Each structure stands twice: as structure tokens, then as C-alpha cells.
Amino acid sequence: MSDVESEGHKHVHDRNEMTHWAPFVPRLSAEQGPTGARNINLNHRRVVSPLQGFGPLWQKTLRVRLEGVSATPEEIIALWKMKFPELQPQDSHFYPSIAGVLPGELMWIEATVPPAPGLPSILPVATGVLILYADETSFTVVTPEGHPVAGLNTFSAYTDDDGTLVAQIDIQVRTSDPLYELFYHVLGTAGDQDRIWMHVLEQLAGLYGVHAPIEVTKTLLDPRIQWRNARNIQYNAGIRTVFHIAAAPFRWIVRRRGRRRPGTAR
């Protein structure tokens, strides 16, 4: 292959690789959410990495070995993308856009969380994620301002050295603000987040008739609290969701008055 041909192939590869990434936007645009999702904590929000979070930085990896499954990693990921909402636990509802799991698309989340370990999930949180990257064997989501954690989750499938298929979730996150840090690492509800993704892997494996243990590894990358980001609490999706629900009767009254025509008798 000549130098010109080699350079041409490199440009084609670079263009193809760029199609897997979400285009940069300074703020998310979510004018209208899917049916069933409250569109209150995504529109005009910036996406945030662990650098913009508040609490200690954690790296977590969860994986399940799909022994005996003859599917390819590409087939695993295609099914995972398609079934993503159905794999969630009952108190966590995901709403992809009509386009599906594609770079630049949003995925709305309606969830309830427990106020403390062992208690029922009663606190509502309406939030979502941006699909940052997606290809045939993986996809990555990134959180917006106000989400319980600031960071990224990568969902992938691969064949290990033994020839066994593996489905894996890589997580790198900090809690977003002091209130979430209080709930997660002081009151001890961080384990509930881990259980969500363990449930997802169990359900995915179950689609192939596999019932295997979920391997979990955790590493504390940075124990420091980033007090400069304490102001993130102004975007806290949990607080904003509770106030949004509490204000529903007042919004109903305003809409009723707005529909009245001038001169209509009361």
C-alpha cells in the first residue's frame, strides 16, 4: 500500500471513529421527554465528569461470565442496547429516545431511592444521561448536572483469554454534591447503586439462560472531598423532583386559569 493510500485509510478510520462519539454541546437540549418521564432536570444542563463531582472518586468494575453462550460481543451489545430499559429493577425506569442508544442521544431516568439502607425506595429522582459513545461492542453514558453522581458508565462485551464471553460495566464516579454524599457514604445507600447494576447484569445473563455470580471490584482512586464543588447542590435532581411534585396542584390551577377565555363567568 502506498503512502497516499495509507493516509487515505487513516482518514477514513478517523472519520468512522468520530461517528461513535456524541457531538460537543455546551448544554443539553431536552425540550420534550418520552411519555412517562418528567423532563425537569435535563434541559440546559451541562454534562459533568468526575472532575466536577464532590465526593471521593471511585472506580468500579462489575462483570458476568457468560459460560457456554455462543453469541458474539456484537450480538451481546446489540441486545443490551435494545433491552436496556427492561433489564432495570422495578424502582428504576429508563426511557431512551426514539432513536435508541446512539451517540448524542439522551436517556431519561425515573427512579426512587431509599432514604437509608433497608428502607423502601420512596424518594423520587427524575434525571437522565447522555450517550457519550457507542459502537458495536460498547457504549458509554455520562451524567448531567444534578445527577446523583458525576461521571461515566461504560457497558461492554468481549471474549476473554479463555474464549468465554464477558459482559462488563465500568464505572468512574463521584457523588455530585454534599447531600448525595450524605446519603451514599454516610447513611450507606451507595450499595443500592451497585445492586442496580448487579441486577442489570443478572438480567442480561438470564436472557441467555446463564445464572452466574457477578464479580465486583472497587478501587478508591481519590479519597478527597472537593469542597469547591459543594455548590452543585443547586442542581440536585432529587430536591428539584420533590419540589416539582409538590408544586403540581399549583401548576394545575395556573393552567386552568390560563385556559379560561376573557369574559367567561366564574
Quote the CA–CA distance of 36 and 51 in Å, as a whole number: 32
For residue 93, give Cα distances in angstroms to 60, 96, 125, 165.
22, 10, 11, 27
pLDDT at 229 over 80: yes
Q: Per-residue b/e over 47-73, b at no fewer than 16 CB within 10 Å?
A: bbebebbbbbbbbbebbbbbeebeeeb
Kindly state whether residue 262 falls inside one of the protein's structural domains: no
Q: How many domains does the chain have?
A: 1
State CA 22 to chain mean position distance.
15
Residue 43 is given by DSSP the state: T
pLDDT at 133 over 90: yes
Kindly state whether residue 242 falls inside one of the protein's structural domains: yes
pTM of the model as a whole: 0.88
Kindly state whether residue 16 falls inside one of the protein's structural domains: no
Q: Which residue has the higher pLDDT, 20 or 31?
A: 20
Kindly state whether residue 11 falls inside one of the protein's structural domains: no
pLDDT tens-digit readout, 147-196: 999 999 999 999 999 999 999 999 999 999 999 999 887 777 778 889 99
Q: Are strands 149-159 and 57-66 parallel, antiparallel or unpaired?
A: unpaired
Kindly state whether residue 6 falls inside one of the protein's structural domains: no
pLDDT at 141 over 50: yes
Kindly state whether residue 144 falls inside one of the protein's structural domains: yes
Do the Cβ atoms of 193 and 149 come closer than 8 Å?
yes
State CA 144 to chain mean position distance.
9
Kindly state whether residue 130 falls inside one of the protein's structural domains: yes
Q: What is the mean pLDDT of the chain?
A: 89
pLDDT tens-digit readout, 91-108: 999 999 999 999 999 999
Average pLDDT (203-215) is 97
**Bridge-partner residues for 166, per DSSP?**
65, 158
Q: How confident is the model at residue 53 (pLDDT cuts 50, 70, 90)?
A: very high
Write out the residue range of the structural domain in which residue 191 sits. Answer: 22-257
Do the Cβ atoms of 192 and 114 come closer than 8 Å?
yes
Kindly state whether residue 119 falls inside one of the protein's structural domains: yes
Do the Cβ atoms of 27 and 195 come closer than 8 Å?
no
Quote the CA–CA distance of 231 and 236 in Å, as a whole number: 10
pLDDT tens-digit readout, 64-94: 999 999 999 999 999 999 999 999 999 999 9
- CATH number of the domain that residue 64 is part of: 3.30.530.20
Quote the CA–CA distance of 43 and 199 in Å, as a whole number: 29
pLDDT at res. 266: 45
pLDDT at res. 5: 47
Do the Cβ atoms of 43 and 30 come closer than 8 Å?
yes
For residue 232, give Cα distances in angstroms to 7, 146, 191.
45, 7, 22
pLDDT tens-digit readout, 108-123: 999 988 777 777 778 8
pLDDT at res. 115: 73
